[in-house]
Amino acid sequence: MPPAPGCYGAASAFVLPPLPAMPQAPSDVSQVLLPFGGLVGREVDLDAFLQTLMDRIAITLQADRGTLWLLDPARRELFSRAAHLPEVSQIRVKLGQGVAGTVAEEGHAINVPDPRGEQRFFADIDRMTGYRTTSLLAVPLRDGDGALYGVLQVLNRRGADRFTDEDTQRLTAIASQVSTALQSTSLYQELQRAKDQPQVPVGYFFNRIIGESPQLQAIYRLVRKAAPTDATVLLRGESGSGKELFARAVHVNGPRRDQPFIKVDCAALPETLIENELFGHERGAFTGADHRVPGKFEAASGGTVFIDEIGELPLPVQGKLLRVIQDREFERVGGTQAVKVDVRIVAATHRDLARMVAEGRFREDLYYRIKVVEVVLPPLRERGAEDLERLARHFVAAVARRHRLTAPRLSAAALERLKRYRWPGNVRELENCIESAVVLCEGEILEEHLPLPNLDRPAPTSGASASEASPPADPTLLPLAEVERRHILRVLDAMNGNRTAAARVLEIGRNTLARKLKEFGLGDEP
């Protein structure tokens, strides 16, 4: 089982090499995040990433313990997300409670040389964990806008009675680096999303993969088990459902993470070139082959080959791929000498391979070889409204940052429209839709900014006349129910989502408003 959101539990799939002895000079704090620099933009297991990061910070500060606290603005609390040698799954403190809570409330570093008699020290945590704190240092984490969103804390300076002013400077410098790194992860975007959607708790597993639905949590468990091994993985799912993201997650959370990840898209290559692309060719293999060219398998030596849309692989090439999986060797096009290769294979397809086997279009022996671990990704329409809203808000923030724009608000009417749509193109279609809306809107994404067809509206009954089935020529001539729905949602937006205030403006009871919103598909407040 993966750790639930808010737990410390680090997955064994993500383990950095042994940490070197760290220099003690403050100028050396730049080395703390050096091993992590290439990981913050990849599909790394975030819990394990943070755990390893806190281990390194504790070693650097010569501290016995270290904790990363994150801010839950809706509840005005800090929750522990990663700790060096923890005893409990999670600790929560209110703003102003304990040293970490005080740092979060007041916004400055606090160095406690001796917690005895210190009013800001929260002794209940020691009683809860059975740990004895003898010295403590905590500094705030701020984002690029200066907003506080967490606290870095270290406990019990080794070889000394207290943390020094120099330690405070070093931890502050490290916090600045950590904050910069975390702002590039989906964890930070989840924290920002929670400000607008406080009823849904902060949750994440793999960086850049957004979703907490039961289907995705089952997939996270599979990936965490498969990643540390060399088992061949088959990812199945509709186009746009995120197969490549999960393929990268398998690679980056396994022992080959520092080696190449090479993608081959079988659907994008002519059938005559796929064999050459995968296996390379010898000099003289065909007209124009004036020198030896290695293929993707040689380029990926020691790493992972991701074969996308493997269902498009021609039958002759399927036999050659089977040999690679079984014997870890192949021959280049035009060659006779076996080439040994050490790669992991991850494959993906939107096709029904079992049916293709029955029809003789896919080799049965290859099919069973590639589905050692089979992961079936659900389409977006089956992941639920919460996942869709998480993704929508994630893309709003990511697109705004990419285009150097201020992130717009996502109106209730636009969100309700997104939830009604069926998303045949899945997550990729949602991302493109949000990008268009962010670029074209002016401070707020309204329903009219969404480039969506009206295909998800109910079709007229078979007995309806042509005049009944045809929409009115004048787009302002709307059914009364649609006029009411739009007006209610606009009032709710104007009241910043406050249902009591919206009901007062609409001159209806709050229960009536709740019932109407439920009819619109927005559900009840928690």
Query: Going from the N-terminus, what domains does the chain have, and what CATH number goes with each?
Result: 26-196 (3.30.450.40), 214-376 (3.40.50.300), 379-454 (1.10.8.60), 478-526 (1.10.10.60)
22-75 pLDDT tens trace: 444 334 565 666 556 566 667 788 888 888 888 889 888 999 989 999 998 878
pLDDT at 507: 79
Which of 177-181, 220-224, 250-254 shows the lowest mean pLDDT across its residues? 177-181
**Separation between Cα atoms, residue 506 and residue 486, nearest integer Å:** 12
For residue 172, which of 137, 205, 148, 198 has the smallest C-alpha distance? 137
Q: What are the contacts of 117-123 at 24+ separation with CB within 8 A? A: 122/93, 122/97, 122/98
- Identify which has the larger pLDDT, 46 or 351: 351
- Which residues does 474 contact at the CB level (< 8 Å), separation at least 6? none
* Beta carbons of 47 and 3 less than 8 angstroms apart: yes
**Separation between Cα atoms, residue 236 and residue 456, nearest integer Å:** 25
For residue 306, what are the β-bridge partners? 263, 346
* Beta carbons of 412 and 497 less than 8 angstroms apart: yes
* Beta carbons of 368 and 257 less than 8 angstroms apart: no
**Separation between Cα atoms, residue 501 and residue 313, nearest integer Å:** 60
| 148: region left, alpha or beta (phi > 0 left; psi from -120 to 50 alpha) | beta
**213, 217, 223, 226: CA torsion to nearest 10:** -150
CB-CB neighbours of 159 under 10 Å: 5
pLDDT at 107: 96
Which of 104-118, 435-449, 476-490 shows the lowest mean pLDDT across its residues? 476-490
- Identify which has the larger pLDDT, 89 or 494: 494
Segment holding 294, helix H or strand E: strand 293-294
Which of 66-70, 130-134, 186-190, 228-232 shows the lowest mean pLDDT across its residues? 186-190
96-124 pLDDT tens trace: 999 999 999 999 999 999 998 888 998 88
By DSSP bridging, strand 148-157 and strand 344-349 are unpaired
Mean pLDDT calculated for residue range 393-407: 91
> What's the residue count for the chain?
526
**Separation between Cα atoms, residue 166 and residue 27, nearest integer Å:** 11
Q: Is the dihedral of CA 88, 121, 171, 40 positive or negative?
A: positive
pLDDT at 204: 67
**Separation between Cα atoms, residue 514 and residue 509, nearest integer Å:** 9
pLDDT at 415: 94
pLDDT at 15: 44
Please say if the pLDDT value at position 303 is more than 70. yes
pLDDT at 53: 86
Paired tokens of 337: 């000498």
